[in-house]
Amino acid sequence: MGKGLSHMPSTHSKADRHRGGRHFSLYMLLGAGLLLLGMAASISLGAARINIATAWQALFQYNHDFSEHQVIRFLRLPRTIADIIVGASLAVCGAVMQGSTRNPLADSGLMGISSGAAFGMAVCFAIFPNSPYMINILYSCMGASIATLLTYTIASVGARGMTPQRLVLAGMSISMLFGALTTVIVIKYRIGKSMLHWSSGSTASAGWVELAVVTPLFLASIAVAISISRSITMLSMGEEVASGLGLHTKKTRLMATLIILVLTGLAVVIVGPIGFVGLIIPHAVRFLIGVDYRYIIPMSALYGAAFLLIADIFGRLYNRPSETPLGIIFAIVGVPFFLYISRKIRRDGV
Amino acid sequence: MRRSTLNGLWINLIMAALLLIMTLISLTTGKMGLSIGEILDVFLGMGTGRNEAIIYHFRMPRIVLAILVGIGMGLSGAVMQTLLRNDMASPGTLGISAGSGLFVMLVITGFQITSLASHFLLPALAFIGGITAALIIFLLAYRHRTDLSPTSLIMTGVAAGTGYNALSLMITLKMDEYQMEFALRWSEGSLWGDKWDFIGIMLPPIVLISLYIYKQYRSLNVFALGAPMAKSLGMRVRFKFITLAIAAVTLSSVSVAFGGSFFFVGLIAPHIARRICGSNHGIFLPVSALAGALLVLTADTLVRSTFPTFGVPTGVIITLISAPYFLYLLTRAR
């Protein structure tokens, strides 16, 4: 990684470059510490409190007779990993989206992608009940693609092109439309139970089988995201600058879109449609480290994972033993943040 | 001028006739089919006891409720669109419905919904929620010495609405099963308050405020020209703006309290009306109200005749019709 940091896009000021490079490893270390702390808390806290030593034993000296060990192995641990995967996916997704579209309000929840993915899940539940996990992912990705395509098309039709506001409004109405369609399917095919179970925004149901399917896809997408992060930085400076620097903008955009769809699809399959993570984390990271996506993307992954983990712990502990869905926590945290950003856009006159 | 008022009268008469026809159709549909003759017999006091019960206890209140909700939302949307001079304003897009909804959820958790006290409490608190939402949204979007940009106002509304909905959902999670079912029905827009005593509470505010708004149609015509123009024509702009805005919020809150969240009616009914009759408010206002009523009643009748066993909420049908239209508006917006 050290090598990659040495040649930065020449358009940045020297001070900026220096600052980003030096603080990056520090912030990454900090994030990793936060993540580890979160993991430890996530494994030991919950409906039943289990101390960390027992958790450690459950991992390395597993004893089938202890119910606590079973809880850790088959409930807490997969859930923790699912939190990490979902958090990282959504945050990276938001970062890639914001960078490649130059739209500060891009977020998979706000833009209707999540509700499209939910719609895909509903269709899948209705047509193929008890289908394997891969099929679920496929359908949710298809739903996500359709919704994205619609939102983008509608937001960019018209004289002034795709402004942040139009993107959000188009995304909102696409969300409502797909939400209504999903309701109709849910009622018609009586899949309310499985949908409700899934759409409440929780990683509680994640098991090892699901993780085994999702993890390779997740790792591959994150790797691709990091590998094109340089191109995304160029794209974020504008189409002309990017092609002036010799970037294949079409190819980069295509890759970015693919990453977005896969990551949203798998996050939605695990956790249900939740928004705002992808909006908040990249902005916070950009505030810390600057505008270079080679730093933003890995840091978003780390901090997104830690953020979701902590939110999930909070959701488990607040109002115990019933759980507060992640979607609610994020909406309550995310709305003021959204308002702040949209005000800032207006002030800066984007 | 005279000719256009005459036209306006005709348009309103035709709309009213359509509404009457729709009411008759709606009376005949349902789990038990009734013929027009049987319905007339009931109205003339010669129907069988069973038919009388079906009509007076089940179908009529529901139809009246649908019409009232439609009138309330249609008018409220029309006023908001004129006051803000923005095509996309409505109780739903501005987040006012969501604010009312939050307070409705509070009433559901705090009180027995079937008791008489809560009948009065429900619209009152829905109104408080709506007003609070309107204030918050206005304050958040307001910037000193600049015109409120329409899209930014709506963006703020959408965001605040999301927040309110999340809070409502949080409250929903603390409910018992009975309250939860009620909350779900409410939030999907399914005309739950179809009993005469609910309608008795709802009718006076809706009628009175509608009349007040109609009386103000000249002011609204002036508002449509823009606030500076209104001021130079000698109108007390701020006072009129505030009273009309409060009237619109009350109207939408009362209809939302008993009808459930009908997100899009307030948006789409004024558009239909503007297409039919232009924007002279003397004609436009009643046509908006009638269009809203027709919309809700038609959707409800559709739901009752096509999905009687599935129970698809009426609000879902309206969303399915209206969301594409909103998108169409968005593509044309400047």
What is the maximum span of chain A, computed from C-alpha positions, in angstroms?
A: 68
pLDDT of residue A110: 78
**Nearest C-alpha in A relative to B144:** A347
- Burial call B74-102: b when 16+ CB within 10 Å, e when fewer: bbbbbbbbbbbebbbbbbbbbbbbbbbbb
Whole-number Å distance between alpha carbons of A44 and A37: 11
State whether B159 and A322 contact (CB < 8 Å): no
Contacts 24+ apart (CB under 8 A), A297-300: A297/A92, A297/A95, A297/A96, A297/A225, A297/A226, A297/A229, A297/A232, A298/A28, A298/A226, A298/A229, A299/A24, A299/A27, A299/A28, A299/A31, A300/A88, A300/A91, A300/A92, A300/A94, A300/A95
Sign of CA dihedral B14, B15, B18, B23: negative
Q: Is the pLDDT confidence value at A106 over 90? A: no
If you search the block for the tokens 């997704």, which residue do you land on? Answer: A93
**Nearest C-alpha in A relative to B149:** A346
Whole-number Å distance between alpha carbons of A81 and B51: 61
From the list A157, A174, A184, the residue facing B331 with the nearest CB is A157
**pTM listed for this prediction:** 0.80
pLDDT of residue A10: 42
Q: Which domains does chain A have, with CATH numbers?
A: 18-348 (1.10.3470.10)
Whole-number Å distance between alpha carbons of A245 and A241: 6
Q: Which amino acid is at A77?
A: L
Using only C-alpha atoms, chain B has a radius of gyration, in whole angstroms, of 20
DSSP structure string for A66-127? -HHHHHIIIIIHHHHHHHHHHHHHHHHHHHHHHHHHT-TT--TTTTTHHHHHHHHHHHHHHH
Average of pLDDT values for A108-114? 82
Which phi and psi angles does A264 have, rounded to 5°?
Answer: -60, -45
Tell me: the pLDDT tens digits for B23-47?
A: 988 888 877 777 888 888 888 878 7
State whether A158 and B149 contact (CB < 8 Å): no
Question: How far is the CA of B35 from the CAs of B28, B40, B47, B50, B51, in angstroms?
Answer: 6, 9, 12, 14, 10
State whether B152 and A165 contact (CB < 8 Å): yes
Copy the structure tokens of residue B287. Answer: 């046509």
Whole-number Å distance between alpha carbons of A306 and A299: 11
Q: Is the pLDDT confidence value at A198 over 80? A: no
Mean pLDDT of chain A: 82
Tell me: the pLDDT tens digits for A13-29?
A: 444 555 556 788 888 98
**DSSP code for A131:** -
B306 touching A (Cβ < 8 Å): no
Average of pLDDT values for A122-138? 85
**Residue B46 in contact with residue B253, Cβ under 8 Å?**
no
- Could you give the ipTM of this predicted complex? 0.78
Residues of B in contact with A174 (CB under 8 A): 323, 327
Whole-number Å distance between alpha carbons of A41 and B169: 26
B162 touching A (Cβ < 8 Å): yes
Comparing A165-169, A254-258, B69-73, the range with the smallest average pLDDT is A165-169
From the list A165, A173, A342, the residue facing B326 with the nearest CB is A173
Residues of B in contact with A157 (CB under 8 A): 331
Comparing A96-110, A134-148, A302-316, B138-152, the range with the smallest average pLDDT is B138-152
Question: How far is the CA of A314 from the CAs of A55, A205, A303, A329, in angstroms?
Answer: 19, 17, 16, 9
Average of pLDDT values for B257-264? 79
Residues of A in contact with B188 (CB under 8 A): 183
First to last CA, chain B: 31
User: Domain spans of chain B?
Assistant: 63-327
Mean pLDDT of chain B: 84
B1 touching A (Cβ < 8 Å): no
B311 touching A (Cβ < 8 Å): yes
Tell me: the pLDDT tens digits for A265-294?
A: 888 888 877 888 888 999 999 888 888 999
Number of H helices, E strands in chain B: 15, 0
Residues of B in contact with A187 (CB under 8 A): 307, 310-312
From the list B163, B173, B311, the residue facing A335 with the nearest CB is B163
**Residue B312 in contact with residue B298, Cβ under 8 Å?**
no
Contacts of residue B152, defined as CB under 8 A and 6 or more positions apart, other chains included, come to A165, A342, A346, B141
Per residue, the 3-state secondary structure of A270-337, as one string, reads: HHCCCCCHHHHHHHHHHHHHCCCHHHHHHHHHHHHHHHHHHHHHHHHHCCCCCCCCHHHHHHHHHHHH
Please tell me the class of the B63-327 domain: mainly alpha
**DSSP code for B47:** S
B14 touching A (Cβ < 8 Å): no
CA dihedral B8, B12, B14, B19 (to 10 degrees): 160
Whole-number Å distance between alpha carbons of B253 and B260: 10
